[in-house]
Each structure stands twice: as structure tokens, then as C-alpha cells.
Structure 1
Amino acid sequence: MDANDKIDDFRELKPLSCLWLVTEAQYLELNDTLTPVRHVISRFVLPSRMAVARYTLGYVEGFSDHYPFIHIPTLNLTTYNQSPELVLAILAIGAQYRYETRTARSLYQASRSIILERLQRGDLFPSTDSPARMQVCKSHMDQTRALLLLATYCSWHSNAGLMQEFSDYQSLIARSLRQSGLSEVTHQDTDNWGQWIEYETDRRTKFFGWILLSLQSLICNNPPLLLTRELNLRLPSSCQEWVARTEAEWLTATSRSPSPLMFKQAHSMHIAVPSEEHPGSGASPFADYILIHAVIQRIYMTHQISLDIHDQSLSSRDVEALEQSLNRWRYTWCHSAESVLDLHNSYGSLSFTSTALLGVAHIRLHCSLGQWRDLQSGDAATVAATLQQAPLPRRGPHLIYALLHSVHSLNIPVQVGISYLSRCKSFSWSVDHAICDLECAAFLSKWLQGVAHSHETQPLSARETRVIRWIMRVVREALMSQDETMHLSHEINDYELRMLTRTAKLLSYAVVKVCNSSWPMVGFIGQSLDRYAELLHGSLADGGRHHEGS
């Protein structure tokens, strides 16, 4: 055997991710799809064949499980020959998850240039009376998916220019989704796997577009561009159906899975007061994720019609109705067969994210911090300063769910290991969790400051005492697990709460310090929390001078 034969033998050794290897023929075909748009991206060079495979795998492993709207078992980049912008957008996301940020930006810019060219030519939104309607619909949905990925790329960066570009995408996404149709008939069943994939992929694309706009509303406290009432779609299918790799597997999974409800029907079961229907229990993780976003949007809209726009809490009547909605959502989540809380289960990420959003929903009922964050400023110092100015929540038994969810949010990374997560795992879906952690940390910090200021005139209840002791245990463990904060852990030792003013102030600083990926937005939120912690740190000196005895 000569040297060339040995080289060929080594080329045949394929890694575990061989599904995403790109052949020379496929690579040339991808390059050919860029020919019609080469005048728009004349300086762009498609990354190497190995890089394309690496970025595809980055998209699959880092993004698709957490935002499942492109069908991975049948994903083949060469099939998007009419929509090269979608291929480039997929690779841009994948490159970012491989921490190759300069290449990711180049891929993003190339995809954006094609989208802008289509917009300028007037063919981004095709005419509904086109003679080739089916092909137009497919191309339009692929372009919509490209828009969603480009917008996601922008929204997860703290760069002011990209944040502005995201704002530009929002109206395009809303228009594109409306034009694609946000309603479907209830009997759209099929035994054809290929046709089912097309229906389900388009349905998930529309839901993800709505979620992306709703999430931005949550982050920036802006009115949503698409309202819940505009959606009349069937909820996404089960995970087992979606991840089936063959038609036989899909048919088996379909026979075992209940038929998904229509979105409006499921949402109405959660918000009806009093509810005559029992909330459903067969929702998929993606469906649960959609339904908690729907309740959060309802909370946001309820705040907007409040007479006092600066009032953090809602009326007791509204709170009661919305808490019942959240309880019904919780029932649906708990009784859904695919709901899991396993950090190592990639298909469980949406279930995990949904519970984090449940905590945010409970906080928003009583403490709407959206107007006090100013995340759209892109400046950590500004975010910290506005958070410090936010009023303190009113103490009372009504806060118990918000407190428990917030401490639980703090406890999860502590249990797994903060340093391990930040260096090795970093929550592939960490942007969603970074937003939730920001809300929970700021809320806990504000509540603890309220305890420090009011406990002498309003003694702690038994529940509040247990919550503070739980916070102390979690914070102490968190501080001891990191070299840079280990020296602070010895100060968290007042379990008898004999120096409550100082202890509460110290904890209000520590919960923010503890809550600190491949996406810059995560780092930006971490920097904002660090700045906020520094502002709180100054108050500890005053607390230390205030001596308290038993």
C-alpha cells in the first residue's frame, strides 16, 4: 500500500458527526447557488468545506434543539438553491456557536446583503397571484426563516449597530409572517411524511417569528408587533414526531402522540375565568414555550392599560386572574409527557426555558422591571443605574411565587456549578436564561433591600424567614464555589438573622454578584449585573455601621 492509499484510508475515517460532513460536490453546489447573487456579495468568499461542515454542526448542536423550526433530520443545505441567504444565515449562527465571530459576521453580512437586495427589487414579498404560487410560497418561507435567523443574530449582540438592524428586521418579520398566513384549518392532517414536514416547519417558523418579536418586547419593554389574537395555528407536534429520522419512525411516533390543539383553544383554557374546560395535558415542550409567552404578553398588555404607567404592580383582581392562568399553564406543563428538567437533555431545553419564563411571569405581576432596565441602551452602566432607581416591591404574601421562582433560578446554576457552566457548558440557550436571570436577580435584590428598610416596622413572616435562609444557603455555596468570591462567603453566616439590616443588604448585593457563552448579549447582561452590584456595594458600609443585637 503506497502513501496515497494510506491518505485515502484516513479520509474515510469519519467522526461521530459524519452526518454533517460536506462532500466536494455539495460544496461546489453551495458555491454555485451564490452565482446569481454574486454581484451583491462580490467580496464574499464561502468558508472552506470543513468550515461549512463545522458551522452546520454548530447550528445543529448549539441552536436547533432550543429553537426547533428547521427540520434537522432532513436538513440539506444544497436544497435551498433558491434561497442562499438562508444557507448563509444558518452558517452564521453555527459559526457564532463555534466562537468564530469574524467569520460569523462575514456570513451574516452576506446574507443580509441578499435580503436587502431582494427588498430593494421588490421580490421579498411576492405577489399572492403569482402563477407559480407553490414555488413562491416555499421561497418566501425560506426567506422568512433567513430573516428570523438574521434577527436572532442581531438581537443576541450588544452592539448598537446590530441592535438597530434588529429593529429594522422586526417590521419585515411581522409583514412577512402576516403575508404567509397566520391561520390554518384544523383538519390539515396527512400521512405523507414530506408534506407533514413542510406543514410543521412552516407552522413552527411562524410561531418562532411571533416568539422572537414577543421576546424582544420582553427585553426592551416595547409593544409587541404581533399580538396573540392574530395567531390561529395548530400548536407544534411532539418532540418524538419532530426528531424522527425516518418515515417509519415518524408514523410510529404519530400513532402514539395526541393530536395538537389549536393555539387559541389551548390559550383560552389557561385564561378563561372561571375555566369550564380542564387545561390540556398533551402539549409538546415547544407548545408549552409558546403558551407561556402568550400569558406573558397578556401580563404586558395588562400593565400597558394601567392608569399609572409607573405603577409596578397590577390590581388585585388582575393579579388573581393572571395567577390562575399561570397555575393552569403549570398544570399543562407538569402533565405533559415530554416535560423534563434535565440540563443534559438537549430536547428538554425548551421545557427548562419555559419554567424560567414562568418565574419572570410571576415577577411581572408584582414588579415590572422592564421600564427600569434600558437594555436597548447597550451600555452596562446605564442599565445598572436605571435598575438602582427602580422602586422596591411591596412586601407581603402575594410575592411568594415570585420569590420562590427567583431563588430556584439562582439555585440551579449553583447546583450544577457556576464556574463549570460559565467555562464548559454556558447554557447553549443562555440568552433566554440571561434575561430571566437578570429579572430574578434584580427582583430578589430589590426585595432584600425592602426587607432591610422595613423589617423593624414590618417583622418578617415565617415564609419570608424561610426564603431568606434559603437565599443565604444558596449564596454562600455560590460564593464558595468561585475563587474570586470565596473570601466573601464567611460573611454569609447570620442564620439566626440577628443583624437583619446588614444581612439583607449583603444578600441584596450577593444575589446580583452570583448571577453572573458565546453570545455577547450574555456578557453584556453579566456586565450590567456587575455594575449594579458595584452600586449596591457602597450601601454595605452603611449597613455595617448599624449595629443590631438579638
Structure 2
Amino acid sequence: MWYRNSGGIVVSPSAQQDEAPSPLIHPVSYQEPIAHRSWDIGMSAGQEENKSTARQPTEQDTSSMHTHAVGSLHNNVDFTNPANVTSLFWDPSFHAPDPLLDVDWLFEHIPSNFNPMERGTGEEFSPTQTGSSEVSPPSSTQDDRSALKAGSPSSAPWFSAQARLFEALGTLPKSVLSSAFFMPSNLSHFFDLYFENYHPHFPILHRPTLNPATAPALLIAAIVTLGATLSKDDDHFQISTQIHDSLRYIIFTLMKRGVSYVSPVGNMSHLDFSWKQWIEIQSSNRTAFFGFLMDAQHSFMFGHTCVLSVQDVRLPLPCPENVWECNDAVKWDRLIQKAPEPPGFLPVLKDLIAQNPIPPQSTPYGRLILLHGLFSVAAHLKARESATLGVGGTAPDRSRTSTIESWKDTLEKALDTWSFCLVSRSSSLALEASKPLYRMAYVAIYTDVTDMHILAGAPSLLGNLPSEPDLVGATARVEAWREKPESKRVLYHCLLLIQEILFTGKQYLACQDNISLRPWSLYHAVLILWAYGFMSGRRTKTQARAIPLNAEEYLVRMLMLIRNEEDVSVVSQQTGELLLAVRDCFVGCRWELLQEAYVTLGRLVDIAA
């Protein structure tokens, strides 16, 4: 986020070789566009030259390595050479086209028989209708927890890891380094918390081969600090925050120096070497997707400008989870020969936009990536729409009018097609996390979250206090939005999102939710409902009835009116009890944005009263 808001200046690595490390440009060094490359992760000519000097088996040994017909699943890239690590998918010589112009090809051969007023299939797949009654599934089943605990590292490797952490984090204050946070038992607990809660969302680390005693110390530091944020002990949370604030700068220094994070490869069999190389490729691809996912997510959830375009991501989707989680080279060798080749991200995304189903072998993480691909496309098309319509004094470009009129309906249909992921037989935390994001994807197509925050008097998501002109402009835009028929579609998905979180037979508390953006989605949904009702009151000059509707009555009546295409202007103003119910969900949250949300909702309750 710091990088995006600093102007996005990319400094050439060659121009930095003789410079002293500077914290102000650390994040920039490797923020290069993702290279255009084939779906297979091969090696460039330069990489082949570097490979000859890297620590690895001899040329004769390498020629006899296992090779299978599974293509990119089994290609070998030498990750003992830092040049190969850093250039795997960031190519400094590649200049991406204008992101506002590079998505048209995704919409080729789109069916033209979509009726935008026809109710999409996606609305039929709410948890209530599919029989799910839990707010949040357990982080893992009881069996999974037992297995995880049984496989948890013993205290011995954590004593070693503790010493290495002290050495790597030696610049931290003594009060931090001497805290109970670094007790081996606590480190082990934080490590488990990470893999119970974060790993199912974003499986970018290879758990079976990750040894805390030998893995890079800063990687272990990142894992345990993330895990500690879910500790019940508030002191652990505070210490983890202090460590993290320093850790990011330590890593950016290392990035500028081009230091590899990959542990050296020791003596091993050809099969083990092949497996380890494959693990590094998969982990790198998964991490690149995570960066793309965060970029798209922060655009529609926090109002930031996208840095990456889907056009930049030329990678295959993640391999099957049973192959990724394999803990033995022989078993991996057997599974990988049977595993289908993962399809490329861009071809699947294009098929999805053309309303073709996602390939059945796609993993939950892959399906989450595809959802964010739709987010990214929507963000770029909205930016292009603003430019085409002449926002900011630019003359309208009439040549793109037809595209602007159809892309929103096309993306809605793509989301309807994607929604079949949510009725998958196999549950997963990644797909559970997708439910509120899926609803917010519809919302993001038609609304600007920044305007809603300004109208509500909330602190700006972009870091500055809204001015009077900002409020005037946001009010006008929200009023124009309220008058459009598409605003009812937004309300509909906001109502369903709230229903799916709050009314499941279990009290929802955001501080106990291990899906971080679910409460933020809930906040946005109720903010949009309030804004619509607030503008309706200004427009119609009508007064809401004296006896307010409780949260459940409000949801039921609004859903009924929207489904029957009736006027909602009066009922939409009855948001007071709903605002209170959602505000109560944010009690005790550690995240500062949710603390601000609690205050903002309290203020809106007074306005709605």
C-alpha cells in the first residue's frame, strides 16, 4: 500500500547497484511488471548462463532428472541462483500496455443474449438456501486440528529458531526481544495459528517441508507475527505489530541487495532435487498470485488504484492441493504424473467472462484468484469509463460507448457463473472467505466506496480528511446513483450479504472472525444501505414511521419490495436498528479500521434516529 501511494516509481535495478540502501526506495526495487511468458515456467537464455555457476547437480546428473508430460508442473528452474528467483516473473525490460486499454480482448465472443433485468443465477446460492448455518466454519475439523498438533514442531527446533530470530531481529528494542513472545512454546503456538487460519486462505507456503529450524529466519518471523495476531493474549498482538513494522523494512533492504530467501540445496537424490525445484516454482507462482489478489482486493475494498492488470499475470493456476500438500518425493512423483495440467489464468478468466464454467480441477485458491481477476477487470473498466465519459474535463470518446454500455452486464453474468463455486461439495476456508467478496463484487461494479465513506463523514480511505467540496461532490454522485435502476441490484446484494453473516443462528462478532475482510464487507454493505435511505429521505421529504423496524424486519421488507420491483424509498430509511446491530458486531476489534467503523456507525445511528 505504501508503494502504491508513493507514486509507483520503478527504479532500474542496474541503476541501484552502486547505491547505499535507502529505506525510501526499498519497496520499489522489485515492483516490476510481471513478464509476458508462456504458461510453462521455463528459463531464459540469461538464466541458462547463470545456471552453470549455481550450486546444483552436475550436467550429467541433471540430464537424467525425472521429466513428465505434465509440462510446467515439472519444469526445473534453479532457485539456488538469486538472479533466477528475482526474474522468474518480474521482467524489468517489459513495458505493459495502458491498463485502460488492455482488457478488450477478454470480451471477444461474449454471448449477446443476456437480459440485464433478468435475475442472475448467483442470488440463488446464499448459505441459507444451501443449508449452511454457521457464520464461520471452524478453522479446521477436529481431525485436522489433531493432525496439525501431532505434526507440530517439537520444542527443540523452536529453541534453534528462537536464537536465529534474535540474530535476525537484533535491531528491535530490548523490551520486545525480552518479551514472552519469543518463548519457544509461544513461537510454536503462533506457527500453528498461522497454518490453521491464514494458510487455508492463501496456501503459498509448502507446509510439509517448512522446518522452522532451517527456514530463513525472516520468513519464520513473518509467519509467527501473522499467527500472533490471532492470539487471545493482547500483549502478543501488540508485540507482533511492533515486530512487523520493523520486519517489512528489514526485508526491503534485503530486496534491494538482491538477497535470495531460498535455502541452499544440499546433497540429495535426483528425485528430491526435482521435487524441491518444483516446490519453489509453485510457491513463487502462488506468491505472485497473492500479490495480484491483494492489488485487486484493495482497489474495490479500499478505493486504491490498481497497479497490476490481469494482462500482467501470465501464470498457470495453482496445482491440485493433494499434490501441493504432498510430504514425500516418491508420493509426489506418483501423483504429479496423474495430475491434470493446471490451466492458464488468463484463458480461464476469458472463458469465465464468456459464461463458461471453471475447470473442475481448479482449486479453492484458484477459484479465489479468478474472482479477483473479475475484480481487477471491473476496476480497470470503471477507470476507462470515467475517462471516456469525460470526467475531469476530458472530452467523451464516442467510439467506446457500446463497450461501456455492456461490460457491467457481462461481468455480472460472469459472477453468476463463478457463483457455482459456492455450492461446491468440499468446504474450504478460501471459498468461505469468497462469499462476502462475491457479494461485494456486484456492489463494486456499480458503486464507489469512497463516496459512501465521505457521505457518512467517515475517515477517508485514502488517508486525508474529506473537505467541503469532497462532500458536495460525493453527495451529488450518491444521489445520481440512487436514481439509477442498477442501485436496486446493489441493495439486493448488500441485503443478502448481511443476511448471510448476521442471521445464521449464531451471534456474529468480528473480533472472533478469522476471515479479515468479512466484517469490512459487512460495514460497506450497511453503509450503502444507509446512504440509499438517507438520500431517499432528502429526495422525498418523507418521514420514516415513528416505530422503527428492527434489523430483521428491515431486511425482510426490503428484500420483498426489491424482488417485487416495488418502491423502497420509505422503508429504506428505517436503518437505525440495523446500524446498531452491525455496530455491536464490531465491539472489541483490534483492527483500527473496524474501530473507526464502530464510531462511524454510532454517529449514523443518531442521524437515522
TM-score range, shorter chain: 0.5 to 0.7
* Paired letter, 1:520: W
Choose the corresponding residue for 1:58, options 169, 181, 193. Answer: 193
Matched, 1:475 2:552: yes
Q: Note if contact 1:512-1:532 (Cα within 8 Å) is conserved in structure 2.
A: no
Cα-to-partner distance string for 1:229-267 (whole Å, 9 max, x where unaligned): 221111122344344455577567657754322122222
Query: Are residues 497 and 137 of structure 1, via their aligned partners in 2, closer, same or farther at CA, if it must alter by over 3 Å?
Result: closer
1:357-436 alignment to 2 at 5 Å?
A: 357-373=437-453, 374-377=460-463, 389=475, 391-392=478-479, 393-395=481-483, 397-417=485-505, 419=507, 421-422=508-509, 426-429=512-515, 431-436=516-521
Q: Note if contact 1:372-1:387 (Cα within 8 Å) is conserved in structure 2.
A: no
Matched, 1:325 2:401: no
Matched, 1:136 2:136: no
Specify the alignment match of 2:69 in structure 1.
none
Q: Note if contact 2:161-2:213 (Cα within 8 Å) is conserved in structure 1.
A: yes
Choose the corresponding residue for 1:264, options 342, 346, 350. Answer: 346
Specify the alignment match of 2:118 in structure 1.
none
Choose the corresponding residue for 2:571, options 498, 503, 508. Answer: 503
1:209-358 alignment to 2 at 5 Å?
A: 209-246=291-328, 258-271=340-353, 275=354, 278-282=356-360, 283-305=362-384, 306=386, 307=389, 309=391, 317-318=403-404, 320-334=406-420, 339-340=422-423, 348-358=428-438
Specify the alignment match of 1:10 in structure 2.
none
Deviation at 1:91, TM superposition (A): 1.0
Deviation at 1:94, TM superposition (A): 1.1
Query: Are residues 256 and 327 of structure 1, via their aligned partners in 2, closer, same or farther at CA, if it must alter by over 3 Å?
Result: farther
| Deviation larger for 25-34 or 314-323 | 314-323
Q: Note if contact 1:126-1:136 (Cα within 8 Å) is conserved in structure 2.
A: no
Deviation at 1:411, TM superposition (A): 0.6
User: Partner of 1:30: helix, strand, or coil?
Assistant: helix
Q: Note if contact 2:300-2:444 (Cα within 8 Å) is conserved in structure 1.
A: no
Q: Note if contact 1:289-1:351 (Cα within 8 Å) is conserved in structure 2.
A: yes
- State the alpha-carbon separation in 2 of the partners of residues 536 and 449 from structure 1: 9
* Paired letter, 2:372: H
Q: Note if contact 1:40-1:117 (Cα within 8 Å) is conserved in structure 2.
A: no
Query: Are residues 24 and 280 of structure 1, via their aligned partners in 2, closer, same or farther at CA, if it must alter by over 3 Å?
Result: closer
Specify the alignment match of 2:154 in structure 1.
23
TM-score (norm 1): 0.64
Deviation at 1:323, TM superposition (A): 2.6
Specify every segment of 5 or more residues in structure 1 that has no aligned partner in the other structure, as ranges.
1-13, 128-134, 141-189, 458-471, 480-488, 539-550
Structure with larger RCO (C-alpha < 8 A, sep 6+) = 2
User: Partner of 2:192: helix, strand, or coil?
Assistant: helix
- State the alpha-carbon separation in 1 of the partners of residues 566 and 490 from structure 2: 25
Deviation at 1:297, TM superposition (A): 2.2
Query: Are residues 477 and 16 of structure 1, via their aligned partners in 2, closer, same or farther at CA, if it must alter by over 3 Å?
Result: farther
User: Partner of 1:223: helix, strand, or coil?
Assistant: coil
Q: Note if contact 2:303-2:461 (Cα within 8 Å) is conserved in structure 1.
A: no
- State the alpha-carbon separation in 2 of the partners of residues 415 and 23 from structure 1: 42
Specify the alignment match of 2:203 in structure 1.
68
Specify the alignment match of 1:147 in structure 2.
none
1:75-154 alignment to 2 at 5 Å?
A: 75-80=210-215, 83-110=216-243, 112-113=245-246, 115-117=248-250, 119-120=252-253, 123-127=254-258, 136=260, 138=262
Specify the alignment match of 1:524 in structure 2.
595
Query: Are residues 452 and 264 of structure 1, via their aligned partners in 2, closer, same or farther at CA, if it must alter by over 3 Å?
Result: same
Deviation at 1:79, TM superposition (A): 2.6
Cα-to-partner distance string for 1:12-51 (whole Å, 9 max, x where unaligned): xx97653364434212211332364364236213621211
Query: Are residues 330 and 498 of structure 1, via their aligned partners in 2, closer, same or farther at CA, if it must alter by over 3 Å?
Result: closer
Q: Note if contact 2:191-2:227 (Cα within 8 Å) is conserved in structure 1.
A: yes
- State the alpha-carbon separation in 1 of the partners of residues 442 and 402 from structure 2: 13
* Paired letter, 2:379: Y
Query: Are residues 519 and 200 of structure 1, via their aligned partners in 2, closer, same or farther at CA, if it must alter by over 3 Å?
Result: farther
- State the alpha-carbon separation in 2 of the partners of residues 42 and 450 from structure 1: 51
Deviation at 1:363, TM superposition (A): 1.8
TM-score (norm 2): 0.58
Aligned alpha-carbon RMSD (Å):
4.5
Q: Note if contact 1:85-1:110 (Cα within 8 Å) is conserved in structure 2.
A: no
Larger helix share, 1 or 2? 1
Specify the alignment match of 2:115 in structure 1.
none
Deviation at 1:388, TM superposition (A): 8.8
Cα-to-partner distance string for 1:71-115 (whole Å, 9 max, x where unaligned): 2333322231xx312211211111110133433443443455455
Deviation at 1:300, TM superposition (A): 2.1
User: Partner of 1:70: helix, strand, or coil?
Assistant: coil
User: Partner of 1:391: helix, strand, or coil?
Assistant: helix
* Paired letter, 2:196: E
Q: Note if contact 1:285-1:351 (Cα within 8 Å) is conserved in structure 2.
A: yes
Deviation at 1:55, TM superposition (A): 0.9
- State the alpha-carbon separation in 2 of the partners of residues 199 and 287 from structure 1: 16
Q: Note if contact 1:89-1:111 (Cα within 8 Å) is conserved in structure 2.
A: yes
Specify every segment of 5 or more residues in structure 2 that has no aligned partner in the other structure, as ranges.
1-144, 265-271, 394-399, 454-459, 543-548
- State the alpha-carbon separation in 2 of the partners of residues 84 and 242 from structure 1: 23
Specify the alignment match of 2:107 in structure 1.
none
- State the alpha-carbon separation in 2 of the partners of residues 512 and 353 from structure 1: 23
Query: Are residues 340 and 253 of structure 1, via their aligned partners in 2, closer, same or farther at CA, if it must alter by over 3 Å?
Result: farther
| Deviation larger for 202-211 or 22-31 | 22-31
- State the alpha-carbon separation in 2 of the partners of residues 391 and 365 from structure 1: 14
Q: Note if contact 1:340-1:351 (Cα within 8 Å) is conserved in structure 2.
A: no
Cα-to-partner distance string for 1:340-380 (whole Å, 9 max, x where unaligned): 479xx8x5232233342232222222222234422344999
Specify the alignment match of 2:41 in structure 1.
none
Deviation at 1:208, TM superposition (A): 0.8
Matched, 1:32 2:163: yes
